[in-house]
Amino acid sequence: MDGRLGLFGGTFNPIHLGHLRLAEDVREEFVLERVVFIPANMPPHKEVHQDAGPSHRCAMVKRAIEGNSYFLCDDVELKRGGVSYTIDTINYVYEKYRFREKPFFIIGSDLLREIDTWKDIERIKEKVNFIVLLREDWPIEGEGAPPFFHLVNRTLDITSSEVRRRIGEGKSIRYLVTESVLGYIMKKNLYA
């Protein structure tokens, strides 16, 4: 692989159709050869509510992206264990993957407000470009020059917390997640 690389980190608790559609939009808009989904083991800035556990979250990502040759899942943060720091993952990406120009790191606009608290953020900014996805409840303010690029042509109101809440209430999550993820959640009795 020598093309442009996108990195999509997150808890994916669980991964839903919004994640997948946004990743596809980013892939097309920025002409990426691959989008690598990287499930967090333990995010440093976010408490994971009703956590299915890193191994279940990773298994759901793998099922959700099956059949899309542009998407792949890397479980480096699970294998590393402990707190998942972005700089460690980016250093790993530079060692493992071949790519043309700096990788693109995909984040939601909700994370932009706290980005300066990330470990070694200045080194991160040197090593990646950020693609910032607009979330309606977190409009973009400020940052608008490289390494920050905005993708604002689609907002999807599906959230992982909504998926978990609906399961807890005994409501359907069909068409919010892929059929393979739905089957996995039911089989493993997650979030009930």
Is residue 184 in some structural domain? no
Tokens encoding 89: 């993952």
Q: DSSP assignment, residue 36?
A: E
What pLDDT score does 11 carry? 94
Residue whose pair of structure tokens reads 């303010």 in the numeric block = 141
Q: What secondary structure does DSSP assign to 126-171, as a single string?
A: HH-EEEEEPBTTB---S--STTEEEE-S------HHHHHHHHHTT-
Is residue 36 in some structural domain? yes
Is residue 45 in some structural domain? yes
Is residue 178 in some structural domain? no
Stretches in the chain below the pLDDT threshold 50:
138
Is residue 186 in some structural domain? no
Q: DSSP assignment, residue 177?
A: B
Q: Of 30, 23, 12, whose CA–CA distance to 128 is shortest? A: 30
Coarse DSSP helix, strand, coil percentages of the chain, rounded to the nearest 5 percent: 40, 15, 45
Q: Domain count for the chain, please give it.
A: 1
Rounded CA separation 90/110 (Å): 20
pLDDT digits (tens, 9 = 90+) for 31-79: 999 999 999 999 987 788 899 999 999 999 999 999 999 999 999 999 9
Is residue 60 in some structural domain? yes
Is residue 171 in some structural domain? no
Using CA atoms of 26, 28, 30, 36 in order, give the dihedral in degrees to the nearest 10: 60
CATH number at residue 130: 3.40.50.620
Is residue 56 in some structural domain? yes
Q: What is the pTM of this model?
A: 0.92
113: containing domain: 5-157
Residue 2: helix, strand or coil by DSSP? Answer: coil
